[in-house]
Structure 1
Amino acid sequence: MKKLMLILSTITLIGLSGCGNNGHHTESNHHGMNHEKKEKEKQTKVSFTFNQNPKSGENSELVIKVKDSEGKTIKDFEVEHEKLMHLIVVSNDLSYFDHIHPEYKGDGLFTITPNFPSGGKYTLYADFVPKDSAKTVKTKTIQVLGSERSPVVLKEDQHQTKVVAGKEISFKTDELTTNKDITLSFTIKDEKSKKPIRNLQPYLGAIGHVVAISEDTKNYLHVHPMNEDSTGPEAKFMTSFPKSGMYKIWGQFQQNGQKFTVDFTVKVK
């Protein structure tokens, strides 16, 4: 079994202007992250710039620029789970979620055109690893123009089984308390036959990926599986929640070349 890869990022939001903020990250895979790498991570600065004011239903290119504390461009990045950067996009009521991958243009510059289904506030999380530095997450809250939908109130799921893309997915956790290692388990069956699915394909180099975000969007967790080489039906993840409250958890998996995403909302005591 490959070593567990756990990235826990606690984030304080910023306004609409300026660069992405510094996040605090805890690594549980003991890769020997030294003090120098931690300091580099803290000093990394990211700017998020659209070529025009983002509006729902329109294509607005996002440019993400990565620099060090002295304003010098960071040019080299580590490949993590097949990508140089993972960008998580959520609406501020957490009803919308997207996990996309900006294209690296060189010279510290990444570009992508996100999709915004409606107007309103969204939070962007840029997740990457500069060479010889630590896992880094920078965030920005933006206002998207266009018709806004009524906010969706986040409620704890009373049923821990959902049907998505012809799969029946059951979700189970340890007791949800703060600052404790918690196992998150997804069990995936065929919706019609109820037979366990054993032919899941790697998604970004692993059986699956999990992202969890707190109701106020200030706490972000990107968790990699404990059993990376598994093909199902069970996928296990381990994480630790920094604060109590409501969290929405998204699990992403792949079968027969088709990615599917399932979400569960939990309450951490």
Structure 2
Amino acid sequence: MNKPKLSTPSPRPFAMRKAAAAIVITALLLTACGKAAPAGTAQDTASKPEQNAHAGHGAAPAPKEADVKAAFTFSPDKPQAGKDTLISLQVTDSANKPVEKFDINHEKTMHLIIVSKDLSYFNHIHPDYKEKGLFTIANPFPAGGDYKLFADFVPSGESGTTKSQWTTIQGDAAKPAAIQPDGNLTKTVDGKEISLAFDKLQAGKEVNLTFNIKDGGTKKPITNLQQYLGAVGHVVILSEDAEQYLHVHPTEEKATGPDAKFMTTFPKSGIYKIWGQFQHEGKVFTVPFVVKVP
């Protein structure tokens, strides 16, 4: 009697079982990866850019407001109008240790903007860096009253930081000037005729600001503007209550006129004062405009 043939198992079912197992393992892995990462992991560390013109400087994320502090002090303790006041700023970290290294930002280690409460007085100066996070500069305040100081600086390797403080100056106060929107956005300053134009003025949306600069007498376009702090110009914008602050740099830094273009976003509706600063033939001139943002 012939013995029955023993059949060898086909390799195909084994391969199919192996492939099925691989699919199950892959599915489990994908399910695990799809779960939301807990707060504090690498997937949850993105920080929002600061609402000012310095957002985006460098590759480091913007520092949290509490990470850097700036303590303003004045000498004398009760500054007098018309006399030099020594302004000191001590910059420290969250552990109250001095921040010792700063990046150069538009040719300076720190930009200090000083405005009066009614925004009629404006000064853009640059404190000297001493050491161990200390900056100092002397400034004569023109009249008694309240002033706000804005310090712009960049701790080394971090994003731009702005710190501010109100201070009161002793002495006779100047008559308050009303902050009224300009009906005509053309001004003459230091023999220059400057016009300001917007593409679309609206809160919360990017807006292009274009300053057109001509000779005030001949009306010829000025095409030889000089670099001011490493750019064709600088723009500072404040809301009428001095709570919304923007320090804006040009979109074409090496431009020479007659147009100087800037881009920014007004954070909310309201009245804002704009100061444009430019340099021509060795002299810096400042032109102010007041606008109402819908």
Fold similarity call, TM over 0.5: yes
Partner of 1:50: 74
SS at match of 2:226: coil
Deviation sequence 1:61-80 (CA, Å, 0-9, x none): 01110000100000000000
Deviation, 1:111, is: 0.3
User: Is 1:96 the equivalent of 2:118?
Assistant: no
**AA partner of residue 256 (structure 1):** E
Partner of 2:232: 207
User: Is 1:245 the equivalent of 2:270?
Assistant: yes
Partners in 2 of 1:28 and 1:151 — Cα distance? Answer: 31
SS at match of 2:84: coil
Q: 1:25 aligns with which of 31, 51, 58?
A: 51
User: Is 1:172 the equivalent of 2:197?
Assistant: yes
Structure 1: gaps spanning 5 or more residues: 1-22
Partner of 1:10: none
Please say which of residues 110-119 and 120-129 is displaced more in the overlay: 110-119
Partners in 2 of 1:77 and 1:262 — Cα distance? Answer: 30
**AA partner of residue 260 (structure 1):** F
Deviation sequence 1:188-243 (CA, Å, 0-9, x none): 00011110000100000000000000000000000000111011000000000001
8 A Cα contact 1:86 1:101, kept in partner: yes
User: Is 1:187 the equivalent of 2:193?
Assistant: no
CA shift in 2, pair 1:103/1:212, >3 Å: same
Could you say which structure has the higher strand fraction?
1
Q: 2:168 aligns with which of 128, 139, 143?
A: 143
Partners in 2 of 1:115 and 1:173 — Cα distance? Answer: 35
Could you say which structure has the higher helix fraction?
2
8 A Cα contact 1:25 1:135, kept in partner: no
User: Is 1:262 the equivalent of 2:287?
Assistant: yes
Partners in 1 of 2:238 and 2:151 — Cα distance? Answer: 14
TM-score normalised over the length of structure 2: 0.80
Deviation, 1:31, is: 4.9
8 A Cα contact 2:200 2:208, kept in partner: no
TM-score normalised over the length of structure 1: 0.88
Please say which of residues 51-60 and 139-148 is displaced more in the overlay: 51-60
SS at match of 2:140: coil
Deviation, 1:34, is: 4.2
Partners in 2 of 1:28 and 1:73 — Cα distance? Answer: 22
% identical aligned pairs:
51
Structure 2: gaps spanning 5 or more residues: 1-48
Partner of 1:122: 147
**AA partner of residue 25 (structure 1):** Q
SS at match of 1:206: coil
**AA partner of residue 222 (structure 2):** I
SS at match of 2:130: strand
Partners in 1 of 2:71 and 2:54 — Cα distance? Answer: 28
CA-atom RMSD, angstroms? Answer: 1.6
**How many correspondences in the alignment?**
245
Partner of 1:13: none
CA shift in 2, pair 1:204/1:71, >3 Å: same
Partners in 2 of 1:27 and 1:58 — Cα distance? Answer: 33
